[in-house]
Amino acid sequence: LQKNITIHELAKIASLSPSTISRALRDNPMIPESTRLSVKEIAVKYGYRPNSIASSLRSGRSMITGVIVPRINRNFFSNLIGGMEEVLFEAGYTLLIFQSHDTHNNEVAGVRTMLNMRVDAVFMSLAAGTLDSSYLNELSEKKIPVFMFDRVDDSLPFSSVKMNDYEAAYLCTRHIIQHGYRKIVHFSGPGHIMVYRERKRGYLDALAESGISKYKPLIINNILTREKGFTAMHELLKSPEKADAVFSASDFSALGALLAARQSGYSIPDDIGIAGFANEPFTGFLQPGMTSIDQNPVEMGKTLARLFLQGDLKEVHRRVIPSKLIIRDSTLKPA
Amino acid sequence: LQKNITIHELAKIASLSPSTISRALRDNPMIPESTRLSVKEIAVKYGYRPNSIASSLRSGRSMITGVIVPRINRNFFSNLIGGMEEVLFEAGYTLLIFQSHDTHNNEVAGVRTMLNMRVDAVFMSLAAGTLDSSYLNELSEKKIPVFMFDRVDDSLPFSSVKMNDYEAAYLCTRHIIQHGYRKIVHFSGPGHIMVYRERKRGYLDALAESGISKYKPLIINNILTREKGFTAMHELLKSPEKADAVFSASDFSALGALLAARQSGYSIPDDIGIAGFANEPFTGFLQPGMTSIDQNPVEMGKTLARLFLQGDLKEVHRRVIPSKLIIRDSTLKPA
DNA sequence: TTGAAAGCGCTAACAG
DNA sequence: CTGTTAGCGCTTTCAA
């Protein structure tokens, strides 16, 4: 058992005081170069490992940040966290992760842990189960900056990084219309989540603008999974006035729709056009490839981290990361 | 600015000593039920948040664990971490994440941070760039338990959770042979990484056992990405004695091979059979679906966490998680 | 340029 | 059952 050596012991060895050791190790300019070097040499020689815990307690900065997401195994979140970690690590911060599994209780527990750990920042995307996020105000009261992404609540005074869901949905729907589809159905998510409301709005505006008003918009809520997309599509195909395209707020339900349509003998994109959202890796490997929207999650994560690091605590920043419509064969109806 | 209230202040309010507050909050049985309840009531009323940092410093247990992986945005790792987080959180532990990006330097920096943070456990999968992992011994000297997965180094005295790469590769290769393929090429990874050596061994044993010895095994190393698989497959198709199947140690290079074969006008599975490794989500969505091996990452993550929590520090455990051959159309040659 | 002293908030002997 | 005391290892005044 190798006990960790402390600055007190290093001080004895170097015949200096603990404060000098502390200063030397952190490159305090008051300490002359020569002592700094010799102190560091001794530190290396004796395998000194600074105790971050003690340092945190004394300084009041933990150098720990935390991120709360619904689940980490989604392509969007894991890429975002990856980008975030990269930038934070570079700056000497560590990153704690929590999964809310989309329930409010887990999210609250996660925030409590963040408070107890005295993290220096919280990054989060709200759980679907969170209807009231005002409890997050405790974080601001304790001066812990909060950065939101994806599922944000704009009524709270927190900085956020988002993509323009409205615009992306608008452009995607317009693209679908331009390729000759007319009866376009929209799969949406729970109505209280902002990103889904925004995507819905983009879809509606594109339709309204197109002048194809004789086909009423058709929105089906809460269709985010492969299974629900599959079932919903089968329902649609049975109805008298069939849809000829689906614009889904989720790649997974779009996939379900694609599989259902294919199972019923429809050809994509000839009979039915399909587009999803998020550009999950599989969308590029499907046959035909599925049109989707790349949210640029790595860049979002990096931006979140930088927003925190630049440390302008007073202002609320709302950054918008450009997204990209990825057009693939699933919406390219032959003329 | 709401300063955090401390047990000292709670003590004043409750007319008790700080130690009693501390004990009451942690349900020490010495404290009678009645005081425990009233202390907790006051704590809630005043929004007390226990300072984990201070508690860690004093008790010597940080309740923080850390995980180091090459990158978090791979399906295998994000699922594994997800499973790990779930079990750890349940037990009151937090989880720090680091990405090595497969370089040794990043990995060393990650371990250093773990040491400085005085984590209670480290979970890790070695970076491809790590040739010598003996530096990890500092963790054991400091009595920090290490749990390895996927890319493990069995020469170190650390517990590990793996799948049986040898057996999975053997069974997959045998399956390919049984379906009538004869000239089976194997795409492997860097030779110094155990999992790839094991997969290679399984492939070779299945071939040796099959009696189709007139076709020499053909192994191509360092083919793990889509791009490399694509290029390698094109090379193979140009050579005089063409391969009729690929068993790849990576789904991504298998995908590259599939795309290359298709581009050259070959049909899968009729002309060429293809199987990958890891059961990435996209393998199920390809046309034809790609045969692969499900490593059960969520279960691996949970097992790792439980291994730590059960806390049998003395012994080195080597757990093997069952994997599953997922047979899809890409290896089902018509008779 | 360096050191002494105090204390971050908590836990754990030890004593009562 | 409860309180007193003494730190965990570090940073940071303040004084020299």
Which tens digits make up the pLDDT trace of B31-87? 999 999 999 999 999 999 999 999 999 999 999 999 999 999 999 999 999 999 999
Q: How confident is the model at residue A96 (pLDDT cuts 50, 70, 90)?
A: very high
- Distance from residue B259's CA to nucleotide C2's C1', rounded to whole Å: 69
Q: What is the dihedral of CA A131, A135, A139, A140, to 10 degrees?
A: 90
| pLDDT tops 60 at residue B320 | yes
Supply B186's token pair. Answer: 């194997």
- Distance from residue A280's CA to nucleotide C8's C1', rounded to whole Å: 47
- Specify the 3-state DSSP secondary structure of A319: strand
Residue whose tokens read 């071939």:
B207
pLDDT, mean of residues A309-318: 88
A85:B72 CB<8 A: yes
Residue A1 has a pLDDT of: 58
Whole-number average pLDDT of chain A: 94
| pLDDT tops 70 at residue A332 | yes
Assess contact for A291 and B291: CB atoms under 8 A.
no
A57:B52 CB<8 A: no
Q: Does A73 touch chain B if contact means CB atoms closer than 8 Å?
A: yes
The Cα B203–Cα B184 span in angstroms is: 9
A53:B118 CB<8 A: yes
Supply A163's token pair. Answer: 């993509």
Assess contact for B302 and B286: CB atoms under 8 A.
no
Whole-number average pLDDT of chain B: 94
The Cα A194–Cα A185 span in angstroms is: 19
Residues 235-264 of A with CB under 8 A from B: 255
| pLDDT tops 60 at residue A230 | yes
Residue A216 has a pLDDT of: 82
pLDDT, mean of residues B235-258: 92
Residue A125 has a pLDDT of: 97
| pLDDT tops 90 at residue A91 | yes
Residue B229 has a pLDDT of: 96
The Cα B123–Cα B318 span in angstroms is: 14
Q: Please tell me which residue of chain A has the smallest CA distance to B61.
A: A53
Residue ranges near strand C (C-beta within 7 Å): A 15-20, 23, 30-32, 35, 54, 57-58; B 3-4, 6-8, 18-19, 22, 25-26, 50-51, 54-55, 57-59
Residue B1 has a pLDDT of: 57
B255:A86 CB<8 A: no
Q: Does A81 touch chain B if contact means CB atoms closer than 8 Å?
A: yes
- Closest by Cβ to A285, choosing from B75, B86, B282: B282
- Cis (ω within 30 of 0) for the bond into A288? yes
Supply A119's token pair. Answer: 């993290």
Which tens digits make up the pLDDT trace of B281-312? 889 888 899 999 999 999 999 999 999 999 87
Residues 121-180 of B with CB under 8 A from A: 138, 141-143
B211 Cα to chain A: minimum distance (Å): 36
A138:B85 CB<8 A: no
| pLDDT tops 60 at residue A209 | yes
B96:A96 CB<8 A: yes
- Specify the 3-state DSSP secondary structure of A326: strand
A202 Cα to chain B: minimum distance (Å): 29
| pLDDT tops 60 at residue B25 | yes
Q: Does B61 touch chain A if contact means CB atoms closer than 8 Å?
A: no
A89:B98 CB<8 A: yes
Q: How confident is the model at residue B187 (pLDDT cuts 50, 70, 90)?
A: very high
- Distance from residue A181's CA to nucleotide D2's C1', rounded to whole Å: 78
B208 Cα to chain A: minimum distance (Å): 34
A52 Cα to chain B: minimum distance (Å): 5
Q: Please tell me which residue of chain B has the smallest CA distance to A79.
A: B73
The Cα A78–Cα A72 span in angstroms is: 6
pLDDT, mean of residues A204-225: 88
Residue B137 has a pLDDT of: 94
Point out the residue nearest to D3 (C-alpha to C1').
B17
- Distance from residue B58's CA to nucleotide D8's C1', rounded to whole Å: 4
Assess contact for A250 and A190: CB atoms under 8 A.
no
Amino acid at position B311, single letter: G
Residue B12 has a pLDDT of: 93
| pLDDT tops 80 at residue A118 | yes
As beta bridge partners, residue B320 has: B162
Q: How distant is the alpha carbon of residue B173 from its chain centre?
A: 23
| pLDDT tops 60 at residue B329 | yes
Supply B187's token pair. Answer: 């795409």
Give the DSSP per-residue string, A44-102: HHTT----HHHHHHHHS---EEEEEES-TTSHHHHHHHHHHHHHHHHTT-EEEEEE-TT
Residue B314 has a pLDDT of: 81
The Cα A238–Cα A233 span in angstroms is: 9
- Distance from residue A140's CA to nucleotide D15's C1', rounded to whole Å: 38
pLDDT, mean of residues B144-157: 93
B31 Cα to chain A: minimum distance (Å): 23
| pLDDT tops 80 at residue A2 | no
Chain B neighbors of A70, CB-CB under 8 A = none
A98: closest CA among B82, B110, B78?
A: B82
Assess contact for B90 and B60: CB atoms under 8 A.
no
A107 Cα to chain B: minimum distance (Å): 12
Query: Which nucleotide is nearest, taking the CA of residue B17 and each C1'?
Result: D3
Which tens digits make up the pLDDT trace of B188-240? 999 888 999 999 999 999 999 988 767 788 999 999 999 999 999 999 999 87
Residue A249 has a pLDDT of: 97
Size of interface A-B (CB pairs under 8 A): 129
List the nucleotides on chain D closer than 7 A to a protein CB.
1-5, 7-13
| pLDDT tops 80 at residue B136 | yes
B85:A97 CB<8 A: yes
Q: Does A285 touch chain B if contact means CB atoms closer than 8 Å?
A: yes
Which tens digits make up the pLDDT trace of B97-120? 999 999 999 999 999 999 999 999
Instruction: Pick the most confident of A233-247, A301-315, B109-123, B127-141.
Output: B109-123
Assess contact for A301 and A82: CB atoms under 8 A.
yes
Provide, rounded to the nearest whole percent, the portion of chain B with pLDDT above 90: 87
pLDDT, mean of residues A25-42: 93
A173: closest CA among A319, A275, A52?
A: A275
- Distance from residue A73's CA to nucleotide D15's C1', rounded to whole Å: 56
Residue A174 has a pLDDT of: 97
pLDDT, mean of residues B253-277: 95
- Cα dihedral sign, B193-B195-B198-B204: negative
Query: Which nucleotide is nearest, taking the CA of residue B9 and each C1'?
Result: C9
